[in-house]
């Protein structure tokens, strides 16, 4: 593994030190326009250290895991299980058996809704979500409710994009069996007080699933301190490969859950009469797991750790503050959500005279990549009375100049749209 340029923990992050690690950021679009990548909440880019780890495994170590008795199988298994140790440490989970590799955050939530949900929910039980959830943290619970007769409720939002905690006492009751909540909204960027919600849910006997897709890549997560029952996230939003994610679950809860997918690797024994499920974490990793994905994720964690999550978080906060102020100065811009100090590096907005998708198309002409649409959060957009929004989202390699480019591009896009 190549070394990464680290600085002291207190020192402000200088993105120019890291940008050379990301080959794609050198991409020049049509007419020599450089790429300004501000779509990190959808997926991030990969540094060459992660790409090198992936190439290295395919060139030197690749085999299936946990199956062979040959050298390559041993090497790959060691790397794959080593990645699990890296994830355990990164989350400060108590045990490596609590780390299950999945295909991503969506797969992790579906796993819990199926395996834990089907076994534990009865008609009339309640599932508490919030109105700001990504569809990935809504649809699997709706499906669970359809299967079991449980009822889904949603914690409402305030006008400025926070969870309306005044509704909590009557929504979180003994009927609530699980609270599934995002730690950071993928649209509003709101950082939710999961550290307060978790004990409140536990006090009424409910389990808690934290959707960490937008938090784990940007903020230090300590699952023991949080006391979350489940936490999910995706590798591709934190410099890692696509096709891999993690479900963290407390050992005693995972142990009591029946397996979800059946197949190879997840069994102790199969006979003509049935099967005996295997131990954790294999019990939830049926079939060939995302071997290279997990190893790549391990390399991404090494990279993030050496840069320092707290520095990344402060850097994103500075960028968010700058964008927020600059956007607020543009006439006819509405920023969705709360003030910058309460949010991560995500800013969604609408213009009063240009549709978000049209804006994003025009921004692309100037090299600026943002997301436009409902961002898989239709109920949230409905709550704020807009069908769609444009979203800029940051990571460690974004610079203050990226924001200047974005603002300049918005002003030019607007002029161009009105000239037509
Ligand atoms: N939850 C949140 C908050 C997200 O932002 C996303 C991805 N946009 C997901 C869940 C789903 O992640 P994935 O598509 O990687 O499974």
Is 250 in contact with 98 (CB distance < 8 Å)? Answer: yes
The best mutation among 113, 187, 216, 234 to test binding of ligand 1, ranked by most ligand atoms within 8 Å of the C-beta, falls on 234
- Whether 40 is in the pocket of ligand 1, judged by its Cβ within 6 Å, is no
Total domain count, the chain: 2
Say whether both 198 and 338 belong to one domain: no
Domain-located, residue 184:
yes
Distance 30 CA to ligand 1 centre (A): 30
Catalytic residues: 376
Per-residue pLDDT of the chain (420 residues; tens, 9 = 90+): 444 554 445 689 999 999 999 999 999 998 899 999 999 999 999 999 999 999 999 999 999 998 778 999 999 999 999 999 999 999 999 999 999 999 999 999 999 999 999 999 999 999 999 999 999 999 999 999 999 999 999 999 999 999 999 999 999 999 999 999 999 999 999 999 999 999 999 999 999 999 999 999 999 999 999 999 999 999 999 999 999 999 999 999 999 999 999 999 999 999 999 999 999 999 999 999 999 999 999 999 999 999 999 999 999 999 999 999 999 999 999 999 999 999 999 999 999 999 999 999 999 999 999 999 999 999 999 999 999 999 999 999 999 999 999 999 999 999 998 876
Domain-located, residue 2:
no
How many beta carbons lie within 10 A of that of residue 304, not counting itself?
22
Phi, psi of 161 (to 5 degrees): 85, 25
Distance 186 CA to ligand 1 centre (A): 8
Distance 412 CA to ligand 1 centre (A): 31
In the listed set 305, 338, 355, which residue is the last one of a domain according to the structure?
Answer: 305
- Whether 231 is in the pocket of ligand 1, judged by its Cβ within 6 Å, is no
Domain-located, residue 8:
no
- Whether 182 is in the pocket of ligand 1, judged by its Cβ within 6 Å, is yes
Domain-located, residue 96:
yes
How far, in Å, CA of 38 to CA of 372, rounded?
Answer: 11
CATH number of the domain within which 76 lies: 3.40.640.10
CATH number of the domain within which 342 lies: 3.90.1150.10
- Whether 44 is in the pocket of ligand 1, judged by its Cβ within 6 Å, is no
- Host domain of residue 318: 15-46+308-419
The best mutation among 136, 185, 191, 215 to test binding of ligand 1, ranked by most ligand atoms within 8 Å of the C-beta, falls on 136
């Amino acid at each position: 593994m190549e070394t990464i340029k680290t600085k002291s923990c207190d020192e402000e992050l200088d993105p120019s030190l890291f940008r050379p690690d990301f080959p794609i950021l050198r991409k020049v679009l049509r007419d020599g326009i450089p790429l300004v990548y501000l779509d990190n909440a959808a997926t991030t880019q990969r540094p060459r250290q992660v790409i090198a780890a992936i190439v290295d495994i395919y060139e030197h170590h690749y085999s299936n895991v946990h199956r062979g008795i040959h050298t390559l199988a041993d090497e790959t298994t060691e790397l794959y299980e080593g990645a699990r140790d890296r994830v355990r440490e990164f989350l400060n989970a108590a045990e490596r058996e609590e780390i299950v590799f999945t295909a991503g955050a969506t797969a992790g939530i579906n796993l819990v809704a199926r395996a834990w949900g089907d076994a534990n929910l009865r008609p009339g039980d309640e599932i508490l979500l919030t109105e700001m959830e990504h569809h990935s943290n809504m649809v699997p619970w709706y499906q669970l409710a359809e299967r079991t007769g449980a009822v889904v409720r949603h914690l409402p939002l305030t006008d400025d994009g926070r969870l309306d905690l005044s509704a909590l006492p009557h929504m979180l009751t003994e009927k609530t069996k699980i609270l599934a909540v995002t730690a950071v909204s993928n649209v509003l960027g709101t950082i939710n007080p999961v550290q307060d919600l978790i004990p409140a849910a536990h006090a009424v006997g409910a389990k808690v699933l934290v959707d960490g897709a937008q938090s784990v890549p940007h903020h230090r997560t300590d699952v023991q301190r949080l006391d979350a029952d489940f936490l999910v996230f995706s590798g591709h939003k934190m410099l890692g490969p696509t096709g891999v994610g993690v479900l963290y679950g407390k050992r005693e809860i995972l142990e009591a859950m029946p397996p979800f997918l059946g197949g190879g690797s997840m069994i102790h024994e199969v006979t003509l009469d049935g099967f005996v499920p295997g131990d954790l974490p294999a019990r939830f990793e049926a079939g060939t797991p995302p071997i290279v994905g997990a190893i790549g994720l391990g390399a991404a964690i090494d990279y993030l750790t050496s840069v320092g999550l707290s520095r990344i978080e402060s850097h994103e906060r500075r960028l968010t503050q700058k964008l927020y102020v600059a956007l607020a100065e543009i006439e006819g811009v509405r920023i969705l959500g709360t003030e910058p100090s309460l949010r991560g590096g995500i800013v969604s907005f609408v213009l009063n005279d240009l549709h978000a998708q049209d804006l994003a198309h025009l921004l692309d002409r100037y090299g600026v990549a943002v997301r436009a649409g409902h961002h898989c959060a239709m109920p949230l957009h409905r709550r704020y009375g807009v069908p769609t929004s444009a979203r800029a989202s940051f990571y460690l390699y974004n610079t203050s100049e990226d924001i200047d480019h974005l603002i300049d591009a918005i002003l030019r896009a607007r002029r161009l749209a009105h000239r037509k």
